Structure 1
């Protein structure tokens, strides 16, 4: 209780400081405009080109998906009227619902869906697996297309409806077919509930979206990312405010309407304000705090040195560093998120005891000889910065020779792809936060699905995991899937692919005059109104 009281006092003081800084912000938005502040700045506008959560938020405003996941975790038709599956499970026939059109007025046809899927599956890990199991994908009319498998693949619907990066959004075939998957699109035409105002976009500062009058919502109520996206406002603005105290002060003053992530220091202040509603999340709408480990260069190419890192993955310390109360986090160590269908405890009992003393002992036994270790931190992202501070301190206590580098998120997101040695600008370990939607499946969990590939920073390789994922492709029974997930988790811990530093709920907050928010971890602006 004393800790919470201290945090509340700190938040109050910081809020006052932020209020003094907020005068530079624009005047309060009009009644038909909602202003959002995202966790990280919006800098990339092609949802196929990045896994950034800010770009995913943009994508769900501008584009739509064939299939979507509802609040109960069920996959539902979204742009589709439905689908049929042949008796042998190898042929899927999909039918688009009537009346769909893109924001430029062109009707959505099956060829748009086919071209978009083919662009998506060139880059997405789940999509690549679907592509490898596909014999053909072709339109069979304006509203129908068929996917024929060359072998059993029990996760077609989950692939096309995945809410995690990279999301298989639908864009016009003329754009999808003409733009290689490693090049950014230059037209931002979707069939989603909003239209992006590209002419007035200032990267990282302001992005504006207007209601898409051509959008045809489904008839059923909105649920999660599925259902009727019935837009009730005219304009959404995503604004960039890097400083947390300034973000909070702007929300209190009504100059912005929504904060995607509220630092815990400020939550008591938000909860005490009758004009603000704090929103919390459970299950896969939570986050895992983690650390990506670079297996490609010393010293973490040595599994014994990586094992020493596991001993300092002490959730209580990292969650305290985020300022979280005991009811907001769990020491869960499942790589698939506790609360998800595949969350489990396999391999947890074999992890080293969480303590600095254990880390020192393991490090001494590993052969580590004081080699420099570069900690890469996105210091402008609140949670990454806090996690980095704790990680730096614990690593130094354990005996690592640590140097910190980094910057804002776009800078770090680019730096993390370097395989250079630390002397040439490379890195060794990087704190990160992952959404539960990204981790809950072997097909979407970044480090696991990209095992033994160059597709995700860290470049870890445990060949047995690749074999297990291949078996998971054909597994449709829940018991079989869980058995495989447990084996994958055991090998993930054995390989020390990444660190799990705690599972937690990060609060969002919005002005209380906003009603009918859809309770998903990203700001879904359909249904919302004042």
Structure 2
């Protein structure tokens, strides 16, 4: 009987194998696991990747930083730049089969703006935002706002994705429970197995633009049947799976494997430049002692040495900078040295002296350490060691990134589950526009974990929002950076490349700061 059952099972497997073999599937391992499905309520990078699979945006940014119509057919602006009229492309549908309407867009923008600083500034300048007909909506401003299109095309965290109005009308402080988008892929929640894998099927209702794909802009043509995000926390296991063909794409290569993968003809290692690179950051809780005291933040600022933080990554030569003190990327158009005087003479000795001046009494400092992240594990350990050398009583709490990210939202005292500092990373693409740059843009935002708040920064952001002259914009960007360093919103850990790697039979990969999965083919 057992032999008969085995034979039947083998025959059944043989019958379905050809159909499965014909499917075009891309198996992907992200740097952190997908856990949160609403891109309005979190800044986790895995959720951003999810967002661009399932949702779409009105405006898309290309690889050169230009903003182009995406869901929009286009827009018109009045001569005084106070009235903006937008028109959707014809035939756009949500994954549930309902048409995308202007009312859906208005509701989605309003929900996003309740949570995101750039959106809040846009609507603060607005008299009204309303649908005109099924495909058109209008924004009327009380005063000029210089970054309307940049706001609607913001690629960074807290993304202005479009949802049906019935979903977008949900509170902005709670994740939506129903996932209905108009993006190139479908997500079926019933197939999702957290801790194992998430499946994304080609969306037959999606209507790509006619132009070639370029960054987040152009034609998002899906040439795969399915994308699978596979949970695989162990870094060495990811590399073995990629080499064996069990994975097709790694979001970030563990750095000590880069040279090995470059020598393999079966693997392509991406080449990151400019805004495709990343910045290591030490996020600070400004509400909870000891870093509610600016003197303690300045001691922390002096203690973190970028050269050692970057060395911990083990990157090949030329892939990391020993020091980068601008919040706009060292090779970016707004790069400046404004405010960097604070780093003169910085180091462990200076940090010790500042701690003594501040009257630090050895209170525990809780550092949230993300062991499963190829980026955050080494940088976190080095930052913790530097802090200890300076005299901080560091209490390292180790977990996976998703757990640490949830705890980072807590305002509780450390003895009640709170936190003080957490190593994170920023994508360079998020730092291009000062009004969207997380170093300063979330100033005084109650939803921004860390909760830094500086009156001078608030005034500068409001002035920048209405300034159209490029030279004046650059001068204000310099003042914003100076305010960042003075107030020590965060501590900069250094700029580096964190390349993806994929099987060489995978073609059509769109180069960008984070992975996107349209245009990809399998040879």
2:171 aligned with 1:144: no
CA drift of 1:525 comes to 0.9
Q: Which residue of 1 aligns with 2:359?
A: 367
Question: Cα–Cα, structure 1 residues 29 and 348, in superposed 2: closer, same or farther, change >3 Å?
Answer: farther
Q: Distance in 1 between matches of 2:28 and 2:237?
A: 13
Structure 1 residues 259 and 301: CA distance shift in structure 2, 3 A: same
Q: d(CA) in 2 for partners of 1:403 and 1:70?
A: 42
The answer to whether residue 206 in structure 2 is matched with residue 220 in structure 1 is no
Structure 1 stretches of 5 or more lacking a match? 1-27
2:250 is matched with which residue? 259
CA deviations on 1:157-186 (whole Å, 9 max, x unpaired) are: 000001001111112223223x22223223
- How far 1:364 sits from its partner (Å)? 2.5
CA contact (8 A) 1:377 1:404 kept: yes
Equivalent position of 2:4 in the other structure: none
Residues 434 and 440, structure 2, Cα contact 8 Å, conserved in 1: yes
TM (norm. structure 2) is 0.93
- SS of 1:430's partner is strand
- Asked whether the 8 Å contact 1:370–1:400 carries over to 2, the reply is yes
| Contact kept in structure 2, 1:343 and 1:440, CA below 8 Å | no
Aligned to 2:318, the other structure's residue is in SS state: helix
Q: Return closer, same or farther for 1:165/1:112 CA change in 2, 3 Å cut-off.
A: same
Which position in structure 1 is the counterpart of 2:469?
A: 477
Question: Alignment partner of 1:394: what SS?
Answer: helix
Distance 1:30 1:388 in 2: 44
Q: Which whole-Å CA distance do the structure 2 matches of 1:526 and 1:453 have between them? A: 34
The superposition leaves residues 375-410 of structure 1 with CA deviations (integer Å, 9 ceiling, x where unpaired) of 121222222111111011111111111111141122
Give the conservation status (yes or no) of the 8 Å contact 2:304–2:387: no
* 359-368 or 494-503: bigger deviation: 359-368
Tell me if structure 2 keeps the 8 A contact 1:447–1:456: no
Q: Which residue of 1 aligns with 2:17?
A: none
Please give the residue correspondences for 1:173-184 in structure 2 after superposition, counting only pairs within 5 Å: 173-177=165-169, 179-184=170-175
What is aligned with 1:317?
308
8 Å contact from structure 1 (residues 48, 166) kept in 2: yes
Q: How does 1:117-132 map to 2 (within 5 A)?
A: 117-132=109-124
Q: Corresponding residue for 1:306? A: 297
TM-score by length of 1: 0.92
Aligned partner of 1:24 in structure 2 is none
Q: Distance in 2 between matches of 1:244 and 1:29?
A: 28
- The question of whether the paired residues in 1 share the 8 Å contact of 2:284 and 2:422 is answered with yes
**Would the alpha carbon gap of residues 183 and 421 (structure 1) be closer, same or farther in structure 2, given more than 3 Å must change?**
closer
Select the residue among 195, 209, 234 that pairs with 2:225: 234
Matched, 1:208 2:199: yes
In structure 1, what is the Cα distance between the partners aligned to 2:359 and 2:397? 25
The answer to whether the aligner puts 1:247 opposite 2:238 as a matched pair is: yes
Residues 428-437 or 68-77, more deviating: 428-437
Query: Partners in 1 of 2:21 and 2:234 — Cα distance?
Result: 20
1:70–1:372 Cα change, 3 Å: same
Query: Deviation at 1:438?
Result: 2.5
Distance 1:230 1:453 in 2: 37
1:96 to partner: Cα distance: 1.0
Other structure's SS at 1:448 match = coil
Asked whether the equivalents of residues 508 and 521 of structure 2 are also in contact (C-alpha less than 8 Å), the reply is yes
Q: Provide the aligned C-alpha RMSD in A.
A: 1.6
Alignment of 1:161-180 (within 5 A): 161-177=153-169, 179-180=170-171
1:433 to 2:420 alignment: no
Moved segments of 4+, more than 6 Å: none
CA contact under 8 A between 1:352 and 1:358: conserved in structure 2? no
Aligned positions, number: 502
Secondary structure, counterpart of 1:138 in structure 2: strand
Q: Distance in 1 between matches of 2:476 and 2:138?
A: 30
Q: Secondary structure at the match of 2:268?
A: strand
User: How far off is 1:29 after superposition?
Assistant: 7.8
1:31 CA displacement: 5.2
Q: Deviations over 1:456-493 (max 9, x none)?
A: 12222221110000101101221111101111111111
Map of 1:48 onto structure 2: 40
Query: Displacement, 1:426?
Result: 2.3
Deviation at 1:238, TM superposition (A): 0.6
Deviation at 1:447, TM superposition (A): 4.4
Which residue pairs with 2:437 in the alignment? 445
Aligned twin of 1:527: 519
Greater Cα shift, 297-306 or 260-269 = 297-306
Which deviates more, 238-247 or 433-442?
433-442
Do residues 74 (structure 1) and 74 (structure 2) align?
no
Structure-2 residue corresponding to 1:516: 508
SS of residue matched to 1:159: helix
- SS class of match (2:232): coil
Q: How does 1:331-410 map to 2 (within 5 A)?
A: 331-410=323-402
